[in-house]
Chains A and B, each alone.
Chain A
Amino acid sequence: MVPLYMSFFVGGILCLIGQMIMDFTKPKITPGHILVGYITIGAIISGLGLYQPLVDIAGAGATVPLSGFGHLLAQGAIEAADKRGVLGAFSGGVEATAAGITAAIVFGYVAAVLFNPKS
């Protein structure tokens, strides 16, 4: 099992990189860009086979950041494309991330209905 300090350290570094990008490019790169960028770049790095080693070392430190979500998309598409060809390429990414996406939309909707903005 991955030691906790490794997930803390690698997860922290990935967040630190995001902070540096935002601070040094202010105000061009917004939090929205960070979300999209991490998923896209994570998926590309994963497609090149370079993200899995990070997951092996850091566990949740690599899978909890959104680059890990990109990794899940890429690996889902790759595995499914191997088994089912073009159809797999289209369905694999969403299949692998379905739980997270659905949770975000369902819990997101419920929370937005139940609570009111503070300010």
Chain B
Amino acid sequence: MNMPQNEGLKNAEKAEYDSMVSQISPKPTYLKNFLWAFVIGGLICMTGQIILNSLIKSGMDLKAAGSMTSVILIFLAALFTGLGLYDELAKKAGAGTIVPITGFANAIVASAMEFKREGYIFGVGARIFTVAGPTLVFGFVISVIIGLIKFLI
């Protein structure tokens, strides 16, 4: 019978709690975040362009050079994540370190490293896919859908 009253009380409490939280939590530093993401993200892509240009100069065709650039960037990101440096940068640069392909490598290493104590097969081996899994699932599904549409029209 007094369910509605309880609900009302809950809502009031929730509103009060929310306003308290918003008072205490620091104001989001949007502008600073945006600038960091833009500059670091831009620099990572520019590094990719420098690697790509030098591979093309060494005689690789564009497609092979593109794949090789990804492999090199992924290697560097895995290394810097292992050394703990990538996550230091990520604290400031946010999406600037997540959106580039280096962010994919970082997420894989970071999640796998945490689960070493569960062993190298079902700890590290499985946890690699905490992040890689969803990405690959959606990537594969969308690519097959696009391929099938192309085949049908």
Identify the A interface with B (CB < 8 A): 1-2, 4, 7-23, 26, 31-32, 34-36, 38-40, 43-44, 46-47, 58-61, 63-70, 72-74, 76-78, 80-82, 85-86, 88-90, 92-94, 97, 99-101, 103-105, 107-118
Can you pick out 8 interface pairs between chain A and chain B where the beta carbons lie within 8 Å of each other?
Answer: A11-B41, A35-B98, A63-B52, A74-B146, A82-B150, A103-B70, A108-B78, A112-B82
Contacts known (A40-B138, A118-B87); A1 close to B82, Cβ less than 8 A: no
On chain B, the residues within 8 Å of A43 by CB distance are: 139, 142-143, 146
In the complex formed, the residue of A with least CB distance to B51 is A60
The 0/1 profile, CB within 8 Å of A marked 1, for residues 77-95 of chain B is 0110111100100000011
**In B98-128, which residues have CB < 8 Å from any A CB?**
98-105, 107-110, 112-114, 116, 120, 124-125, 128
Asked if A11 and B68 make an inter-chain contact with CB atoms under 8 angstroms apart, the answer reads: no
In this assembly, does B17 line the interface, its C-beta being within 8 Å of a C-beta of chain A?
A: no
- Whether A100 pairs with B45 at a CB distance below 8 angstroms is no
- A105 touches which of B98, B108, B143, B149 (Cβ 8 Å): B108
For the complex, give the distance between the alpha carbons of A15 and B40 in Å. Answer: 9
Q: Are A92 and B66 in contact (CB under 8 A)?
A: no
Chain B binding surface SS class: helix
A13 in contact with B147 given A64-B73, A70-B139, A93-B140 (CB within 8 Å) = no
Say yes or no: A115-B142 contact (C-beta < 8 A), given A18-B98, A60-B52: no
A70 to B136, CA, bound (A): 10
Option from A34, A81, A103 in Cβ contact (under 8 Å) with B71: A103
Within 8 Å of chain A (Cβ to Cβ): is B39? Answer: yes
CB distance from B109 to the nearest CB of A (A): 5
Q: How far is the CA of A9 from the CA of B107 in the complex (A)?
A: 24
Q: How far is the CA of A94 from the CA of B66 in the complex (A)?
A: 15
Is B60 positioned at the interface, with any CB of A under 8 Å from its CB? no
B113 and A115: CB pair below 8 A?
yes
| Proximity string of chain B (47-70) to chain A, C-beta cutoff 8 Å, 1 when within and 0 when not | 011111100100000000011111
B48 touches A60 (CB 8 A): yes
- B56, B78, B103: the one within 8 Å of A66 (CB): B103
* Smallest CB separation, A89 vs chain B (Å): 3
